[in-house]
Structure 1
C-alpha cells in the first residue's frame, strides 16, 4: 500500500499510460527509490495495469480472412495444375486450425507489446545514431561515453541503491566510481558475456561481429559462457588486458596490449589501428556509420592498416584509407566499394 497520499493507484496507472506530468513522474520515481516496499507496490500496480489493458485488439474475422488469403496465394504460386488438386472445401477441422493460429498470433502480439511497455517503464534507454557520440553521467557518479549506433539501458528504480546493473548493445567507454559499500557495477551484453567491476575504467564493445573489453585502470571480472546453458568461465583482468570473443568462431581470446587507451580513442574522433585488416575496418564502418562495404579484388581483402587517423566522419576515414592503401573508394549512399588501383 502507498504510504504517500499523493502516490495513488490511479496516479500510477496514469504513469504507465504515459499521461503523468513531469512533476508527477519525478514524484513517483523519488517515492519508489525511497523504500523496497514502495518498489514492490509499484510492480504490483504495474502487473495489475498490464492484465487490465490489452495492448492489441484483434479482429479475429479479419485475421481468419488474411490467413485464407495467404493459403489462396500459396495455391496460386504452386501453379494451376497443383492448385487444382487442393480441396476447395472448408471443413470444421481446417477452420479449427485457423482459429488456433489466429489465437496464437494474438497471444504473441499481446505478450510482445506487454513486454515492450514493461521495458520502457523499468529502463531508461540512452541511444546514439550512426556517427553520433554521447556522454552520460549515471546517478552513482559513473561516467559513460556511448559510441555510435549503441544503446545503454539503465534501471529507472533501484540503480545505485541495491544494485548497479546496466545493459549495453554497441560500444561504450566506462569510468566507474567506487562506492563506500563496495557495490559491484555490472554491464550485461547478452546471455553469454558480462563484465563486473567495483571502480575502474574500461572500454567495452558488444557488436554483432563479437564482444571485446579492454581494461585501462583497476580490476575487472569477466563472466563468459560458450553457450547460455553452460557454466560461466570467470576471468580476472589487469590493466592492459584485452579479452575478445569472436561470435563467428565462438572463441575467447586473451592478450596484452601496450596502449589500452587507444581502444577508446574514438571518443576524440580518432582511430588507432595496429595491423588491423580491412575486414575488421569493414565491420567498424558498418557498426559506426551504417555503411555496407564490399572489398573488390584479390589483394584488397588481405590488406591491413597501422597508424592513428583523425576522422570526424565516415568520408574522412574512407579518404584516409584511400591515401594510405592506394585504393579507390566508390560510394553511393550507404554502399561503399573498395577497389585496388591497377
Structure 2
C-alpha cells in the first residue's frame, strides 16, 4: 500500500472517531488497523500531532471563519480531520511524502544518534530523514532529507550504502557524512578510511579521509581536500568555521532555527567569519557575529530575524 493511501485511510479513521455515533466495533476495527502495519500507527500519531497543533494557532481570520462555520468542537473536529487527509495528500508531494513517513527523522534544531541493528552508529542532523533498509545481502540508508553521519560496523558480506536521488556512497571503511544540499546536489565527506561515490550517470570515484566529493546532475565530481575544516563538528553540537563566507554561516544557523532568518546575500557577500559557535543556541551565535562584524541583527518576532549591514 502506498504512503498516500495510508495517509488517506488515517484521515478517514480520525474523521470516523470524531463522530458521536462511533461504535465499539468501529473502535476495535481501528485498533486492528493500527496494528496491521507499523506505518499505520506512525501515520495516525503524526496526523494527530498536526490536528492537535490546530488549537494552538492564534485567532487568525481563517480560524475564526472555521469556528463560525462549525460552532461545536466535535463538528469542527470531524470536518477538519476529514479535510486534513485531502490537504495532506496534496501537500505531501512525491518528494515530501516519504519524508513524512520516514523510518527516522529529526525536527528543526534537533540532532539524534541512532544505533542500527548491525552495530553501526548513525546520527541525523537538523531537519533530516532516512529510511533504513537492511536485508541478508546489503545495508542501505536512504537519505531523504538533510544530513547524516555514520560510523559503519564491518560486515564483509553486506555492503553499507547511503543512497540519495543523485547516487550512492558505499563504505569501504568507517566514518563519513552525506548531505543533501539545498541546491539539489549531494555532498559526501569522508572522515576516516575510504568511500566509493557513484552518481547515477557516472562511474564511481574513491574518496579518502579528508576529502569531499559533490554529486550533481547524477555525476560524481573528483574528490577535493577539505583542508582543516571540522566537517563533523555538528555531531558535537558545534559549528566550526575558518574564513568562511558570512552568508554560508547564516544559512547553517537558519537550518537550526524555527521561523525565518533573512539577509541580503549581496549586501553581506564580502564578509567572512572564523570561530566556533554552539548550534543549540543560535541567538547567541548571531549575537557573537554582530559583536565582531559590521552587521546588526533585528528580531521582529522569535520567528522572524533579519541580518543586515550596520
> TM-score over 0.5 for the alignment?
yes
Q: Highest CA radius of gyration, 1 or 2?
A: 1
CA displacement at 1:290 relative to structure 2: 4.2
Q: Hey, what does 1:223 align to over in structure 2?
A: 198
Look up the match of 1:270.
Answer: 238
Kept in 1, the 8 Å contact 2:197–2:220? The answer is: no
Confirm or deny that 1:154 pairs with 2:132.
Answer: yes
1:286 CA displacement: 3.2
The Cα offsets for residues 61-109 of structure 1, whole Å up to 9 and x where unpaired, read as: xxxxxxxxxxxxxxxxxxxxxxxxxxxxxxxxxxxxxxxxxxxxx9xx7
Given the alignment, which residue of 5, 14, 17 partners 2:33?
Answer: 17
- The CA deviation at 1:145 is 1.0
Given that residues 125 and 147 in structure 2 are in contact (C-alpha distance below 8 angstroms), is that contact kept between their aligned partners in structure 1? yes
Picking from 303, 310, 322, the partner of 2:278 is: 310
Q: Which residue of 1 aligns with 2:62?
A: none
Q: In structure 2, how many angstroms separate the alpha carbons of the residues matched to 1:180 and 1:221?
A: 15
Cα distance in 1 between the residues matched to 2:164 and 2:37: 33
Distance 1:162 1:124 in 2: 22
Residues 251 and 199 (structure 1), Cα distance of their counterparts in 2 relative to 1, 3 Å cut: closer
User: How far apart are residue 259 of structure 1 and its match?
Assistant: 3.5
Distance 2:139 2:265 in 1: 49
Match of 2:108 among 121, 130, 139: 130
Aligned counterpart for 2:176 among listed residues 183, 202, 215: 202
The C-alpha deviation readout for 1:27-55, integer Å capped at 9, x for no partner, is xxxxxxxxxxxxxxxxxxxxxxxxxxxxx
Structure 1 residues 14 and 196: alpha-carbon distance in aligned structure 2, compared to 1, 3 A threshold: farther
Partner SS state of residue 290, structure 2: helix
Aligned to 2:269: 301
Residue 191 of structure 2 aligns to a residue whose secondary structure is: strand
SS where residue 256 of structure 2 aligns? Answer: helix
C-alpha spacing 1:292/1:320, structure 2 compared with 1 (3 Å): same
Contact 2:205–2:222 under 8 Å retained in 1: no
Tell me the TM-score normalized by structure 1: 0.57
CA distance in 1, matches of 2:250, 2:259: 8
**RMSD over aligned Cα, in angstroms?**
3.7
Question: In the aligned structure 1, how far is the partner of 2:269 from the partner of 2:293?
Answer: 12
1:64-103 correspondence runs (5 A):
none
